[in-house]
Amino acid sequence: MSYADRLENVAVLGAAGKMGSGIVLLTALEMADLSLDPENKGRTFALNAVDVSSAALAGLTKYLRSQVLKAAEKKVSALRKAYEGREDLIENEDVIRQYIEDVLALVRPTTSLDVAAEATLIFEAVNENPDLKVKLLSRIEASNAKKPWFLTNTSSIPIHELDEKVGLGGRIIGFHFYNPPAVQKLVEVIRAETTVAELTDFAGQYAKRLRKTVVPSCDMAGFIGNGHFMRDALYGIAEAEKLCPEHGFVDAVYMVNKVTQEFLVRPMGIFQLVDYVGLDVCQFILKVMNDRLPNAVLHSSLLDRLIGMGVKGGQFADGSQKDGFLKYERGRPSGVFDPEKTIYVPLAEIAARADAKLGAPPASAKPWKAVVGAPDRPALLEAYFKDLKSSQTMGAEMAVRYGRVSKAIGQGLVKDGVAATAEDVNTVLLTGFYHAYGPINAYFD
């Protein structure tokens, strides 16, 4: 079965979710482009977008229309050539409108899993719940006589475990898009020892056509991305808990978040990132990793406590940020949750006091956005971290310790065989997390 054959009938599970909607978009665009290739004349393509919520699927259609419009506008010249011979498509607007119609015609939103019985390729992007994934994949495997290939977007569950529990005989591979899939360039590809070679080749070809940066990860719970992020987050939580007796909870969270963002030159502080992913999602990933990694102690009682109080983070359907460790107004942090008073304390009541304790970053400090776009980024970072290590403020000392722990986590992933090289670890953090530098570096020596 050729690459185009495999994409003739596709099902995406969890199609209306954050990850699933992006996978639907990218796959629908790929299928539409294949259909416009003269070599595929006469082929029919179908993308079954499966989700439990009809309302969410309606939102998916709206999202697809807006995103396909943007994609069409960017490649209108190529589309004019592809539609050459269509005398009814005169203006660019006509070509763009036709392409949007063609892409949307491929997508078939449905709440019925039965459509997957005819698919030759299944993208799975449901909740990070091993039992749910096994249940859905088993149902499809039992009803689908075509022996489909499965690409799972799991960010933590070992691929061999899903393969063995469902009995897929190697017809599954981890294809971990980063959020949002339509924007993020990184994909972690995780093959089990049993994954068939043809599926591995297909995954590589698909990623290449989507212009994704591929990093292979060993099939160990958490892989590279969450293998680093979860441990990094646990260290940040532990640092805040150590500060609590002297400085109080809200000040401690504020200080650690500021150190991890401003002092370490990251796009978000660690508590913002946990909020973005979702406290409950982080809790679930930690459990998956803790239960499957020998000698692992990956758990946070603080996460348990806050989740029990209804503090979960994550995003609303429109993509706006829900409150978690921090409160958000217009997408920006505006307060810190106090679990004792069960209220959010405004940053205006925290910042001056906490900033005085931390001290200012070195004069050579620049915001992440300025550093990440600088042509002399390595030189800027080297000079800044040299200044940071010589500074004796509380914030600088916290940042240097944090940077060294982050480096040790990355090195541990290489030592344990999760990542093949330090470069792979750095690529994941640079590309998937938008860091300005990889964790395995000489800055904190």
Task: Mark the ranges of the chain whose per-residue pLDDT is less than 70.
Answer: none
Within the chain, all domains assigned CATH 1.10.1040.10 are found at 225-432
**pLDDT tens per residue, range 41-72:** 889 999 999 999 999 999 999 999 999 999 99
How many other β-carbons are positioned within 10 Å of the β-carbon of residue 294? Answer: 4
Are 191 and 202 in contact, with CB atoms under 8 Å apart? no
201-248, pLDDT tens digit by residue?
999 999 999 999 999 999 999 999 999 999 999 999 999 999 999 999
Give the pair of three-digit tokens for residue 30. Answer: 């790929």
**Confidence at residue 317, expressed as pLDDT on a 0 to 100 scale:** 77
Inter-residue contact 139 to 167 (CB < 8 Å): no
Q: What is the pLDDT of residue 160?
A: 98
Mean pLDDT score of the chain, rounded to an integer? 97
Q: In the prediction, which pLDDT does 42 show? A: 87
pTM of the model: 0.95
CATH class, range 225-432 = mainly alpha
Task: Pick the closest to residue 162 from 176, 146, 173 (CA basis).
Answer: 173
Q: What is the pLDDT of residue 319?
A: 83
Which has the closest alpha carbon to 378: 439, 422, 437? 437
**pLDDT at residue 85 in the model:** 86
Q: Which residues of 46-78 are buried (b: 16+ CB within 10 A; e: fewer)?
A: bbbbbbeeeebbeebeebbeebbeebbeeeeee
Q: Which CATH number fits domain 3-216: 3.40.50.2300, 3.30.360.10, 3.40.50.720, 1.10.3720.10?
A: 3.40.50.720
DSSP 47-101: EEEE-S-HHHHHHHHHHHHHHHHHHHHHTHHHHHHHTTT-TT--SHHHHHHHHHH
Instruction: Answer whether the bond into residue 180 is a cis peptide, omega within 30°.
Output: yes
DSSP state of 377: H
Q: Where in the chain is the domain with CATH 3.40.50.720?
A: 3-216
